[in-house]
Chains A and B, each alone.
Chain A
Amino acid sequence: MGPEVLKDINFSIAPRSFQYLTGPSGAGKTTLMRLILMALKPTRGLVNLFGQDVSRLDAATLTAFRRRMGVVFQDFRLLDHLTVYENVSLPLRVLGKEETSYRAEVVELLRWVGLGERMHAVPPVLSGGEKQRAAIARALIGRPELLLADEPTGNVDPGLGRRLLRLFMELQSLGTAVIIATHDLGLMELYDAPRLVLADGHLHVDS
């Protein structure tokens, strides 16, 4: 086992809250996000999600919990063989929904993030910013209760960055708890919200 990446961390995310997760590179932001996403098991300690200890969840509940969360990865994690439209509709498709039932909704969201003309393109031909917007759209389409976004404005111009931030805020007002992991001080100054600061594996909250 390697060194401990995170230690003595204790925090909770309130429903409908908005916060930034920040800290220097390598401080453990991505690890913390993976813990929340149940993509990693803590070697010790307790992760409670939606009121339940995740270490005791069975596979079905795990899947149900993941469906209540949306995530934007720093490296986007789009499926390269699917079009933008197919990638964004993935969370609805895996629920077994009919394609006709969500087509209009997906197209509307794609137009909103500025990908209306690119919905038939596959990720390898998209620019970094376009991939980022596709990844954000995929995280939003299922109207999650908790949204985790890892550097969601890292690849877009400041104008679109502000628009995306407004989108996240709108989402919060509709009932989603939002965590945005970012280094971007400019972004954090645009909208004041509590900052969870990770440094040397420890976490403190700047309100």
Chain B
Amino acid sequence: MSTSESGSREYEPQERALPSNLRREQPLVPVDSVAGRALMAVIAILTFLAALSAGAAVLAARASEQWRGAVANEMTIQIRPDSRRDIEADIGRAVAMAQATQGIESVRAVPRAESDKLLEPWLGTGLDLIELPVPRLIVLRLKSGSGPDLAALGAALRREVPTAILDDHRLWVRRLSTMASTIILSGTAIVLLVLAAAALAVAFATRGAMAGSRDSVEVLHLVGADDAFIAREFQSRFVRLGLRGGAIGGLAAIVVIAALGFLSSRWSAAPEGEQLQAMFGAFEIGWSGYVAVVLVAMVVAAISGLVSRFTVRHHLRVLAWGAA
């Protein structure tokens, strides 16, 4: 042990010998690792669920866009068989009328064999369908942009070919949009609920941490730390937890979505795969989907920081001197 004078004499050589890592990057408020890990797990799970919901909403939005594009560019004329009429002549007349209509790009009468094939999944193969009154289809492909005068075409068809029905798929488009909107809305609602749950979890965890660190907070106050400093200490810890939890949850969601996309592309040869493909298009959420997932993870981290800051500030006001 030395006196203060000898201490200052010895000071120079000793200073050079000082280890450079005197201060570890240790947070000032004690870290309860068990509670921290639990909170991180909760945040990761919530982020995973929110990111999957966001991904599903993006998937539904993309699929419905594909459906609507495909369905709205196409119309069909259905010709019902009538024993008193020559169906082939009716088809010829309807095709001619459709071709004469402005705004229709191409007209194709579906041959008998092809329309029979459409019934195969329901009736099985090896059936002779000649005897059955199967309606015949004419597929009209519309020019993009200019809408044809459907009312006039419909009226003319009813006049000339009473067995024909013009189906512009509007009902389908409406139903599909409603379904897609429902999926998107519920996806968004789930994301919002999960974000609220994450905020509450962080708020409770922060309160718990503050109650457990009451002594540390008081010591920090007494050595001259202001509320902003203490709030930053807590906040940085919860932002880190939020970032880690969010990253883990978001990554897990991306892996799951990518794996589902990979599996669905492997299955696309099978009939089930074809049906899936028909429902969702390619099972891919694209860049916008991945951006949505990353955004959800970042919002979760930001919420963790903001909520903990707010909670700490509130708690510090309550702890203000007099209440201590």
Instruction: Please report A residues at the B interface, Cβ cutoff 8 Å.
Output: 37-41, 59-60, 62-63, 66-67, 71, 77-83, 85-86, 89-91, 93-96, 99, 103-104, 107-108, 111-112, 114, 119-120, 138, 142, 170
Contacts and interface: CB of A to CB of B under 8 A. Distances in A.
Of the listed residues B220, B223, B229, the one surrounded by the most CB atoms of chain A closer than 10 A to its CB is B223
Contacts of A39: 218, 221-222, 321, 324
Given A62-B321, A107-B18, A119-B22, 20 more contacts: A39-B324, A59-B226, A60-B226, A63-B224, A66-B221, A77-B218, A78-B219, A79-B30, A79-B216, A79-B219, A83-B22, A86-B24, A94-B225, A95-B224, A104-B15, A108-B11, A112-B2, A120-B22, A138-B223, A170-B4
B2 A107 contact: no
Contact of A111 (B2, B22, B28, B226): B2
B271 interface: no
Contacts of B227: 59, 63
A63 B321 contact: no
Interface string B191-232: 000000000000000000000000110111111111101000
B322 interface: yes
Interface residues of B, number: 34
Contacts of A37: 222
A62 B226 CA distance: 9
A204 B23 CA distance: 45
A59 B28 CA distance: 21
B321 A79 contact: no
Contacts of B320: 59
Contact of B4 (A67, A112, A119): A112
11 contacts: A39-B218, A39-B222, A39-B321, A63-B227, A79-B28, A79-B216, A86-B22, A86-B24, A89-B23, A94-B223, A142-B224
Contact of A94 (B14, B18, B30, B229): B229
B222 A67 contact: no
B10 to A, nearest CB: 8
B225 A63 contact: yes
A62 B11 CA distance: 35
A40 B22 contact: no
Nearest to A115: B1
Contacts of B226: 59-60, 63, 94
